[in-house]
Amino acid sequence: MRFGDERIAAYHPFMRSGETTLAGTPAASPLGYYSWTFGQAARDPYYIMVVIYIFYPYFSNTVVGDPVKGQSLIGYLNAIAGFALALTAPFLGAIADKNGRRKPWVGTTVILMAIGAWMLWYVLPDDGGFGIWGAFLILLLINITFTVSEVFHNAMLPSVAPVSKVGAVSGVAFALGNVGGLALMLFVLFAFALPGAQDWAFLPDAPLWGIDRAPHEHDRIVGPIAAVWMIIFTLPVLLFTPDGERSSTPMIAAARQGITDVIDTFRHLKHYANIALYLLSRMFFIDGMVGVMTFGGVYASGTFGWDTTTLLIFGLCTSASAMMGAAIGGKLDDHLGSIRTLKIAIAVSSIVLITLISVQPDSVLFFVPVPIEPIWALPYFNSFAEVMYFCTNQVFAIFFVTGLSSSRTLMARISPPDMATQFFGLFALSGTVTAFLAPLLVATATDWFDSQRAGMSSLIFLMVIGFVLLLWVKEEQGKRATV
């Protein structure tokens, strides 16, 4: 135990000295580190409902009114957010390392996200309400605060979870996020989307809360629902997960020192070569994988004409698959190691993406023709191509979340413990530099070829480049460079 650890353990009522963290400090109690996982449970349902399955497709197809133009606009939105984060995330992380506390940042960003998510209710069809550009600005601000919140939440992991359980804890966090998304989408499906559209006996006669589907209120309601959910499920993190001690350094001085630390980190880039190579690799592979999920609902709704109900069912099943991936990935991570698990996830995801983009309404595997006639009486996924796209996407979801979890765990394993937030800021940067390159690629390719398929295809190059770079990364913990 390092000098001062006894004081830290006494200061935090949820700390215990029986196990050690990656930071070398006493690990939190199970209440402490499992409460940390609820931060993911708070954020992910917003991403699942708003970004992937319901609101972004609604924005693209109904607010913008053109799936190709809508996909392109969403790409530019993510590109601008990525550029803004690239300029700020590492510095915010370094400042937090100097200040010592992360929970105030988590709480503030969640409040800002919740306000933005609530405002999505006022984005009306056909460029009404806030209009296309008002909605664009709201989504942009939520996108930025989402990633900032993620930086500070992720940076808590190395100092709260036991070394032997860090992979499992990370996996549980992703699993809870998908459980939350699954539960909320089930609620939206059975409370708003299906009543009145299907005459099943267990459904209400009409949508609850007086929701009217004509002005797409069942699409818009997901914003306020996600806002309330974020506030409630962030509370366990704020109440029970131990935070660092507040530094006596004034905020302005901490900011100056943090900026100096970032500059020094780049000056000592050779010393951090292994971490730098990993972050470079992640710049490519993670955004290719995230891009598939981000544009998956938009792509499917444009390619197959899926409506909100179909997308909800698609999202429910995909979230369940992702939940399995989180649980499996966490176990694999602790058994095989983070880097091996991550390589498996990227390789399989790349193969699956090729299969996904090979599917069109009248063909699969690029050249194999398939009938477009319904294969069963159900109104959902009733063509051969739709069933294949659906099933293939479930495989992608499993390995996508496995890769997300392992990429975070690997960062925790190789970062210098006393620079965790700074490096998680760079970790966020590695997911936002190409978060402005990958959406830009999708947007440009979609515009250039006037094809959603061409836009999605561009993501495969990022995943392959990231995998190749990862071959040279070592799973070993770094140390702060000496001056």
pLDDT at 225 over 90: yes
pLDDT digit string, tens, across residues 193-222: 778 766 777 778 888 888 888 888 888 999
Task: Provide the pLDDT confidence category of residue 269 given band limits of 50, 70 and 90.
Answer: low
* Burial class for 107, CB neighbours closer than 10 Å (0-12, 13-18, 19+): middle
* pLDDT given for residue 236 in this prediction: 93
> Among 123, 114, 116, 122, which residue's Cα sits nearest to residue 60?
123
The model's pLDDT over 85-121, given as tens digits with 9 standing for 90+, comes to: 777 766 676 666 665 678 888 999 999 999 999 999 9
Domain spanning 28-470, CATH architecture: Up-down Bundle (1.20)
pLDDT at 311 exceeding the cut of 90: no
Q: Is 467 exposed, middle or buried (0-12, 13-18, 19+ CB in 10 A)?
A: buried
Residue that wins the pLDDT comparison between 2 and 323: 323
Is pLDDT at 262 greater than 70 in this prediction?
A: no
SS3 200: coil
Could you report the per-residue pLDDT of 5-42, keeping only the tens digit for each? 333 333 344 444 457 765 667 777 888 888 999 998 99
- pLDDT surpassing 50 at residue 168: yes
For the cut 90, the answer to whether the pLDDT of residue 297 exceeds it is no
Segment among 1-5, 50-54, 374-378, 451-455 with least mean pLDDT = 1-5
Whether 411 shows a pLDDT value over 80: the answer reads yes
Q: Does the pLDDT at position 455 exceed 70?
A: yes
How much is the pLDDT for 271?
Answer: 64
d(Cα 286, Cα 435) in Å, to the nearest integer?
A: 9
Q: How far is CA 29 from CA 241, 284, 333, in A?
A: 9, 36, 21
Mean pLDDT of the chain: 79
| Two tokens, residue 355 | 């299969």
For 443, the 3-state DSSP assignment is helix
The band of 439, judged by pLDDT with boundaries at 50, 70 and 90, is low
pLDDT in tens, 331-362: 788 788 888 999 999 999 899 888 888 888 88
Q: What does the pLDDT read at residue 424?
A: 67
Distance CA 273, CA 186 (A): 46
Measured CA to CA in angstroms, residue 133 lies from 70, 123, 378, 472 at distances of 12, 10, 38, 43
